[in-house]
Structure 1
Amino acid sequence: MENLDAIPYFLAVAEHESFAEAARHLNVSRSAVSKRVNQLEATLGVRLLHRTTRKVSLTEAGHHYLSNAKNAYYWIQQAEYSATSRQQLPVGKLKICVPVSFGRIKIAPLMAGFLEKYPDISVEMMMDDQYADIIESGCDIAIRGGELADSSLIARKLMPSRSVVCASRTYLDKHSTPLVPVDLTKHNSLVYSYAAKTTEWTFGKGDQLTTVAVNGNYHVNNSEALLTACLQGAGIARLPDFVSQSWIDSGDLIQLLPSYTMPEKNIWTVFPERTYLPVKVRVFIDYLTQALAR
């Protein structure tokens, strides 16, 4: 247990790959960081870091220790949260992880209002379309869509989302317009590569579901990059309604197969299970839910 107070020093060095940057991040001297990490290595009897004049990197033992140390430090922080008055106030640093397009279109426009309402909260927003491990990445909250596999997380529904199939007038002028889902097999489909089933699109009409295997020459892991290619006439895209709706309304995109619906997914806020939920997390979730409902 004597190593607990050295963990944040080691984590900072590992994150920044520099003793000097870690010291600036922790607002302590470089020598203090070096001393704590050296003491940690001496106690453990292993070398955690490779040190050169130009770079600091993890040893094999350091990689193993880092993963466990992050989890341990996270739960230590939760213990401190539950015992301090800070837990009862909307203050502190709030780290949120959001998908890129949803973050830019839906979350980013709301941040100025949130920061004005809660001036004692500082926000770090990480935008990435890959699912990050919340505890591993240090996020207080993540925004996720669709089915949630991790039962250790608490989830609150934020809003529904449905995908629509679209194409530009330029593309449709050169190719026939699909009238039924199976017609998509004759077209170039633009594919979101992080989807659970990238090349299988499911459509509903009444009680009947139809799944079509699509093909295309462009796969990309960002919805707005997919939108750009679609607008430029590269093919047909399946896009979330929050990405495509304004372009459909303007006439730049044509919604295809309008008599069919695609399965609705929910957008969730998820966070680690905590007996004492920090007020900064609760007020952010409440703010998002109310703002998006409007």
Structure 2
Amino acid sequence: MTDRIDYNQIALFIEIVESGSISEAARRLNQAKSNLSRSLTALEKGLGAQLIYRNTRSLHPTEAGLQFYEKCKHAYSDINLNIQNLKQNEHTLRGRFCLTAAMDIAQTICPPVVADFSRINPELKIELRGENKLVDLVKEGIDLAIRFGALSNSNLKASKISDLSLVLVSDEKYLSAQPKIKAVENLKEHSFIAFTKSFEKTINLSRRGAAVQKISVTPALVVNDTLVAKSLALQGGGIALLPDFLCYNELKSGALVRVLPDFASKPVPVHFVWSQHGQISPKVRAFIDFSKDQMKKYFTS
């Protein structure tokens, strides 16, 4: 009965045969020659067979040693290949990844980023959900959310993406038919397109970081989606307070214009949020690392 075999001894034996000498094998492996000699002797003792003829000038495998080498070489190569494949698979993202965001972000900022992320992770099934309501991430099976404003749920972890500002916009058709707006107080005389009923009482504006001014307004139109608010503003429906990223192209083209361009809302933080149960999943970490800088550019452009 053979002694227990150390597989490291087999690896060293293969290197000795392929190097042609213990000295050369020791040099390649950056090990002491005596360590390799002891390893070879221990392997032969464990197998109960001589594997290599040794003399002062040369070294070559015995018939048994050559057979053993041929079989072990292929097996050892397969083992190394399996190890490399396993390590590679650990970094391959698979399964389902669900991201949720408000409709305006889901329709404007997320698509190019998610498409790029999907291309480099073809085995990952990505679900992008646009919704203007807070959902329970755990109950809904959502991996990651993008949310505005202060975070109140202590059961969530967060990573800040950027800040955004809300700006007053309208189109020339509406503005040319209405009283001129020269000061914040003049806004009371105008029709507002409000995003949800939260704007029915007041809007808060600051001039280049100065003290916040609260202005009472009564919206003429109330919508539940900022994209709808933008569409109404483009049609002359009134003044809308919109995220700056959402109307960048329209402002650049002149389809919309800034109203009181020196004023904007206080910066609103935007975060990635995810459930804090357990460690952050590789899918969530990978998406945050991949997309954070890209998304920040959209929010600050």
| TM category, shorter | 0.5 to 0.7
Of residues 159, 166, 174, the one that matches 1:163 is 166
Q: Which residue of 2 aligns with 1:203?
A: 205
Of residues 253, 256, 278, the one that matches 1:250 is 253
Question: Deviation of residue 103 (structure 1)?
Answer: 0.8
CA distance in 2, matches of 1:142, 1:275: 17
Q: Which residue of 2 aligns with 1:123?
A: 126
1:227 is the counterpart of 2:230: yes
1:213 is the counterpart of 2:216: yes
Q: Which amino acid aligns with 1:275?
A: G
SS at match of 2:264: coil
Q: Which amino acid aligns with 1:128?
A: E
SS at match of 2:96: strand
Instruction: Determine which structure has more spread, i.e. the larger CA radius of gyration.
Output: 2
Question: Deviation of residue 113 (structure 1)?
Answer: 1.0
SS at match of 1:190: strand
User: Could you tell me whether the CA contact under 8 Å between 1:88 and 1:278 is conserved in 2?
Assistant: no
Higher mean C-alpha displacement, 273-282 vs 97-106? 273-282
* Aligned-pair Cα RMSD in Å: 1.9
Q: Which residue of 2 aligns with 1:284?
A: 287
Unaligned stretches of 5+ residues in structure 2: 1-87
**Structure 1 residues 87 and 130: CA distance shift in structure 2, 3 A:** farther
CA distance in 2, matches of 1:283, 1:203: 37
SS at match of 2:109: helix
CA distance in 2, matches of 1:123, 1:88: 17
Unaligned stretches of 5+ residues in structure 1: 1-84
Q: Normalized against structure 1, the TM-score is what?
A: 0.67
Question: Deviation of residue 180 (structure 1)?
Answer: 1.5
1:192 is the counterpart of 2:198: no
Matches within 5 A, 1:1-294: 89-193=92-196, 195=198, 197-205=199-207, 207-294=210-297
CA distance in 1, matches of 2:218, 2:188: 7
CA distance in 1, matches of 2:121, 2:131: 25
Q: Which amino acid aligns with 1:256?
A: V
User: Could you tell me whether the CA contact under 8 Å between 2:170 and 2:257 is conserved in 1?
Assistant: yes
**CA deviation map 1:138-196 (0-9, x unaligned):** 1011110111111110011112210000110000111023222121111111000075x
CA distance in 1, matches of 2:120, 2:149: 30
CA distance in 2, matches of 1:109, 1:261: 27
Q: Which amino acid aligns with 1:200?
A: T
CA distance in 1, matches of 2:106, 2:193: 22
User: Could you tell me whether the CA contact under 8 Å between 2:194 and 2:200 is conserved in 1?
Assistant: yes
Q: Which amino acid aligns with 2:146?
A: I
Aligned pairs, number: 209
User: Could you tell me whether the CA contact under 8 Å between 1:110 and 1:291 is conserved in 2?
Assistant: yes
Question: Deviation of residue 87 (structure 1)?
Answer: 7.7
**CA deviation map 1:87-142 (0-9, x unaligned):** 86522100111111111100012222111111121101111011111112110111
CA distance in 2, matches of 1:240, 1:293: 14
Q: Which amino acid aligns with 2:205?
A: F
CA distance in 2, matches of 1:155, 1:198: 30
